[in-house]
Amino acid sequence: MTERLQPGDVAPAFTLPDADGNEVSLADHKGRKVIVYFYPAALTPGCTKQACDFTDNLDLLAGAGYDVIGISPDKPEKLAKFRDKESLKVTLLADPDKKVTESYAAYGEKKNYGKTYMGVIRSTIVVDENGKVERALYNVRATGHVAKIIKDLGL
């Protein structure tokens, strides 16, 4: 298990395919702040709520200089379905081998209904213009999370 990221850490670099199979890198966003959020699965209720909340607030976030990237273990085809079905405007990236998710410490032990298993830990990492971690939030709730980030960022 990777150590959880802390403010001031260099955000791990990544290049992953988006919903259309195009490669997207964290480096593509240099000079802008990036909200990178990790979610367990496209087309599930909590993840849909979170992605829709980010989409609904994208103009506000983009206006304040933030790009939003959602990363899940889903394949690009499923991400395209998710984006189209929910009219999502955030960039969705596929991490089927979970290497990037693990490098951000967003994969690990979870408990649900008394069972312990390995899975994606719903997490949000705010990366500054220089590629450093500004905030690292782990085990976040899908509902109300985007509003909390906006409040925490003073937007």
Kindly list the catalytic residues: 47
Chain centroid to Cα 74, Å, comes to 13
Token pair of 26, please? 């964290």
Give every CB contact of residue 127 below 8 A, 6+ residues apart in sequence.
11, 26, 29, 33, 34, 35, 36, 133, 134
Taking CA atoms, 126 is separated from 44, 94, 123, in Å, by 24, 19, 10
- Burial class from Cβ neighbours inside 10 Å (0-12, 13-18, 19+) for residue 132 reads middle
- Burial class from Cβ neighbours inside 10 Å (0-12, 13-18, 19+) for residue 81 reads middle
